[in-house]
Amino acid sequence: MSRLVGRPATLVAVVTALVLAGAMLIVYGLHRGTGGQQTAADGSPFFSDSPSPSPSPSRPDPAISVRAQVASYLASSGTHAALALLDQDTGEKVYYQENQQFNTASIIKVDILATVLYQHQKSGKKLTSTESSNATKMITQSDNNAATALWNDIGKGPGLAQANKDFGLTETVPGDAGYWGLTKTTAADQLRLLQVISNPTGSAPADPPAGAPPSTAAGHGTPGPLDVASCDYLFSLMNRVEHDQRWGVPDAAGSHATNVYVKNGWLSYSQDNYKWIINSIGRIIEPGHDWLVVVLSNYHPSMDNGIDQIEHAADLAVNGLRTATP
């Protein structure tokens, strides 16, 4: 008797389940687009039969591969070096060990002259004939006596440090007493110095000195504290460096380079068993590119060995970016 009473309830449950299932199928069907495309309640598709095209991959950063090439070369050659490269036209840059400190040797002479010019600019005075003569000899011939005279004129280390503070150099420590060549610096700071003298404040003079950068080459970055006349003067001297000292950065200049500027430093350092410090800083202007280049190195067994290695590192970096960003 109890089984007979339970059957109608069972039938009702089955019918109810079938009705609900049918309703779900109807609703599901109402939410299908034509051709089996599933749609939202408002008729818009949840997905498309033809997938949307994938976004084109972004261009890989050429600086990554160029840095890897530089690092591989320096590691394989056993060279202790740092490099900083900036193309002011494209913004591309390559850094390697850029915050590691090295003794400057004679590349400090660019910083010394920048300080001389900055101090005179602030005081409203022009260079004396003696200062101008010392500046020319210090940069174009790398004359040490001229450098010492100007080092004393600026107030030695404290004078340099004060100017560098205004230039934005934060990792350069002036050498003690008269040892200006033992100033410690980094590739990042030397690149910043090149940026300062590449981006002057004020308008260009009517008669820039021979060898100065073209006026179209200025204005890449935030103007530094040096005026155009000071920067033009400094670059004009870096353009006239004696032929036997035009190694390093100039080796990376392409055949279409219009202006090349350099200051090198070299020193057989007694504290390192007379191994060689070899440094080069400079600028290369060519169509479509305005390269600022810094290579610092030490512990070389000979001067020629050091020059070969820093030139190859500069070539790898500049040519690598030049090829990637024609």
What CATH number should be reported for the domain holding residue 131?
Answer: 3.40.710.10
Shared domain for 161 and 253, answered yes or no, is yes
**∠ CA 219-243-132, rounded to 5°:** 60
Which of 34, 52, 70 corresponds to the end of one domain?
Answer: 52
Instruction: Please give the biggest Cα pair distance in the chain.
Output: 130
Report helix angle 187-198 to 228-238, nearest 10: 120
- Residue 256 placed within a domain: yes
- What confidence tens digit (pLDDT) does each residue in 22-76 have? 444 334 443 444 444 444 444 444 334 445 455 555 667 889 999 999 999 999 9
In this structure, the answer to whether residues 66 and 42 fall within a common structural domain is no
Q: What is the pLDDT of residue 61?
A: 85
3-state SS class at 264? strand
Asked if residues 169 and 193 have their Cβ atoms less than 8 Å apart, the reply is yes
Take residue 304 and report the two structure tokens written for it. 């020629």
In degrees, rounded to 5, the angle at the alpha carbon of residue 281 between the alpha carbons of residues 278 and 287 is 135
**What's the pLDDT score for residue 59?**
66
Q: Phi, psi (5° rounding) for residue 287?
A: -55, 120
Q: Specify if 255 maps to a domain.
A: yes
With CA atoms as reference, report the closest residue to 281 among 309, 319, 243, 310: 310
pTM: 0.81
Kindly state whether residue 6 falls inside one of the protein's structural domains.
yes
Q: How many domains does the chain have?
A: 2
Regarding whether 42 and 84 lie in a shared domain, the answer is no
Same domain, 14 and 92: no
Question: Residue 248: inside a domain, yes or no?
Answer: yes
Q: Are residues 153 and 292 in the same domain?
A: yes
- Give kind and range of the element (H or E) at residue 124: none
Question: In this structure, is residue 57 part of a structural domain?
Answer: no
- Indicate whether 132 and 209 sit together in one domain: yes
- What integer pLDDT is reported at residue 57 of this predicted model? 56
d(CA 226, CA 257): 25
37 with 145, same domain? no
Whether residues 16 and 107 share a domain: the answer is: no
Same domain for 141 and 25: no
How would you list the strands of the sheet with 275-286, edge to edge?
A: 93-96, 80-87, 289-298, 275-286, 259-269
Domain range for 1? 1-52
Name 197's Cβ contacts closer than 8 Å, sequence gap at least 6.
110, 114, 224, 226, 230, 231, 234, 235
Q: Where are the alpha helices (DSSP H) in 178-265?
A: 187-198, 228-238
Residues 18 and 128 in one domain: no
Question: Cα 158 from chain centroid?
Answer: 28
Tell me how far apart the alpha carbons of residues 307 and 311 are, in angstroms, rounded to a whole number. Answer: 6
User: Are 19 and 130 in a shared domain?
Assistant: no
Are residues 69 and 40 located together in one domain of the fold?
no
Question: How far apart, in Å, are the Cα atoms of 125 and each of 197, 204, 237?
Answer: 19, 19, 20
Give the pLDDT score at 326: 59
Q: Which residues of the chain have pLDDT under 70?
A: 1-59, 203-206, 216, 218-219, 326
